[in-house]
A and B are shown apart, each in its own frame.
Chain A
Amino acid sequence: MPDQIALDVENAALLAALDAIPDAVFAHMKPELRVTANNIAAEAGRRIRRRTGETGDAITVDETHNGDGYVVFVGGTRGHIARFLEFGTSRMKAKPFLFASAQLEAGPALRRARFAIQDAIDEKGLGD
């Protein structure tokens, strides 16, 4: 009788890890999203043209309604002033502060996201 080798394939751990990855990614990503939102708000506050300071103070960071991240916006009654500043008027040149801040933060945000995703993958045992 020739030699034999029995192959017992146990893939439960792998499948469980694959199932767990999305939640792990979100758990690691959420704090980084908060950092990104705060940074955008802070940079926007520094860039905004101030006269009374009310518009700058109205820059707000809040969690999205479904909890998947955060939004940065100019709240209160200063929304129209923010629009005037961001896009300009017929009497005033645009003085962008919010989207420019978002663009500036894009690179760091992506870097933090990469680290968060990698951490999640490592946490579930599928990393290097």
Chain B
Amino acid sequence: MADQPALIVRVATNLEELKQGMVETKQQVQTTTAAIGQFAAQTGDLPAKVQRFTGATTEAASASDRLRNSLGQFDGVLASMGVNIGTEIRGLTELGEASGKTASQLGLIATAGLVVGAAMAGWKIGRAAAEFFDLDQKIGAATAKLLGWGDLAGEVGGAQQDTINKAIRDGADATISYTAAIAFNTEHLKATRAASTAAAAETKALAAADQAASDSIQANNKLQLQHLKEEIAAMAPFREAMGELNSVGQGWKGTLDTIDGAVVEGSKVYLEAGGSQTALAEAYGLTDAQVKSVASALKDDAEATKLATTETERLVAAADEAAAALDRQQEAAAKLKRETAAAAAEVEKLKAANRAMGNSTQYDLSSDSGRAQVPEKIRVWLHDGYSLAQAAQIAFLMSWGLPINANDPLFAHKGPAVPGFKEGGVGDFGSGTLAMLHGREAIVPLDKAGSGAGGIGGVTNVYHITITQPFATPTQIARALDDATMKRQRDIGVRF
């Protein structure tokens, strides 16, 4: 930097005090740890003392103060820093103002500026470091946390008092000092350990005697178990004979129930493979009655299988017969259909011949093709205003030279009869059929009836009927449909 800065504000940290404080804190921690170790070595009955560790004592307070003092070296730095900064700056500013206004005095101001720089160097971590007032408490808490205690210093003081109390309780004088109490406790501990060693030796001897007794009992138990096995083996022939006797009278099925299922199945396989019953009895440890019962079961199984096979064959034959009958029925139905078709064709053929001979009045006058088939001798009478039936009758009578009977109802009036339906009616009357009206009547095509406005009734009822028994005659189905329709009508309130 070529030029000396005239004005400097230094913003920096100075951690030397902090580091020193940490060193001293570590020393305190180590000292306290050593004291705890010493206390632990000299104290045998701790639970009561651990309880007392939780209480703070006067000594604990002083120890805490010592710990705080070791850290509190920040205090001097911290307490002065934040306060002095402004004061010094203000003082130096006043100095600059009071130092004159001449150029010669600017040097002094420059010096003051440098002093300011130096003074500002003191503004290190300032008041922020004052937070370390709390640091000693935080460290104390952390120490306690690591050691699993509450108050470290209190614990040290409490430990000393507990050392004295233990010595008094173990027989020392009530005015014994801490140092003397440590010595007393040490001797007492040695004596206690010696007693413990002797007790341990006695316990070991007792345990050895215990083990010897246990070994003897175990050997005796083994011997008794061996005798028991021998007796069971000796009883085996007797049990087998009793099994034979017991199986008499209960049948081979009863005997079979006395055998394990897996043994029965294994025995069956063995017998089926041709194995001897003697070998089987030997292999599975079965009595003769049991082996025989297995053989009987095997025979019973074979008979059941044979019966099942026979029944299956019978059912297959019946099924084949039913299939053949169905085929015959289908063939007969096809034949009937063919014959019906041939008969219908024959009828049509006869009708055509009849019409050709002029003996038929069955002509379709509603179509051009139908009208073209009407013979001329009939057509002339149609053109004259007669109905088809009248024209055919006239043509027939005239062809044979016969007179027309005026009393014949056919000729009650000329032309086709016009249906009236005065009382109403429904039907398919063919295209071109005339009808007679009678006054106030509704004439509605069937395909529009019941379709709302203009329809009869104005309501369309759609019935969805599910037939669950399709195997019925057409009559039965029609009756079922009728019943269902009427019931539905009644359900919705329609009364007939």
Q: Report which A residues bind B (CB closer than 8 A).
A: 1-7, 9-11, 13-15, 17-19, 21-22, 25-26, 29-30, 33, 36-37, 40, 64, 68-77, 79-80, 82-83, 86-91, 94, 96, 98-99, 101-103, 106, 109-114, 116-118, 121, 125-128
Contact = CB atoms under 8 A, between A and B. Distances in A.
Q: Which 10 A-B pairs have the closest CB atoms?
A: A69-B12, A90-B101, A113-B128, A87-B96, A79-B6, A7-B40, A73-B5, A5-B46, A72-B9, A126-B142
B37 A9 contact: yes
B451 interface: no
10 contacts: A1-B196, A11-B143, A15-B26, A18-B139, A21-B22, A25-B13, A64-B12, A88-B97, A94-B96, A106-B123
A29 B227 CA distance: 89
B452 interface: no
A128 B139 CA distance: 10
Between A7, A90, A102, A106, the greatest number of chain B beta carbons within 10 A of the residue's beta carbon is seen for A7
A2 B5 contact: no
Contact of A110 (B4, B26, B110, B127): B127
Contacts of B45: 2-4
A69 B112 CA distance: 22
A60 to B, nearest CB: 8
Given A4-B46, A103-B86, A106-B86, A26 B15 contact: yes
Contacts of B131: 114, 117-118
Contacts of B93: 87, 94, 96, 99
B450 interface: no
Contacts of B147: 9, 11
B18 A98 contact: no
A19 B9 CA distance: 31
A53 to B, nearest CB: 18
B40 A13 contact: no
B72 interface: no
A99 B93 CA distance: 9
B308 interface: no
A74 B40 contact: no
Nearest to B36: A9
A116 B13 CA distance: 12
Interface string B123-150: 1111111011001001101110011000
A69 B10 contact: yes
Interface in B18-38: 18-19, 22, 25-26, 29-30, 33, 36-37
B22 A19 contact: yes
B138 A128 contact: yes
Interface of B: 1, 3-15, 18-19, 22, 25-26, 29-30, 33, 36-37, 39-40, 44-47, 50, 82, 85-86, 89, 93, 96-97, 100-103, 106, 109-110, 112-113, 116, 120, 123-129, 131-132, 135, 138-139, 141-143, 146-147, 192, 196, 199
Contacts of B110: 83
A68 B14 CA distance: 7
Contacts of B6: 73-74, 79-80, 82-83
Contacts of B22: 18-19, 21-22
A75 B138 CA distance: 44
B80 to A, nearest CB: 14
B11 A75 contact: no
Given A26-B15, A110-B128, A71 B97 contact: no
Contacts of B40: 5-7
A73 B44 contact: no
Contacts of A116: 128
Nearest to B39: A7
Nearest to A96: B93
Contacts of B128: 109-114, 116-117
A103 to B, nearest CB: 6
Contacts of A75: 1, 3, 5
A40 B333 CA distance: 116
Contact of A79 (B4, B36, B37, B89): B4
A37 B11 contact: yes
Given A71-B11, A99-B116, A109 B142 contact: no
Given A11-B33, A99-B116, A110-B128, A3 B12 contact: no
A126 B19 CA distance: 16
Contacts of B18: 21-22, 25
A83 B113 contact: yes
Nearest to B8: A73
A15 B29 contact: yes
Contact of B15 (A22, A89, A118): A22
B97 A94 contact: yes
A118 B82 CA distance: 18
Contacts of A40: 9, 11
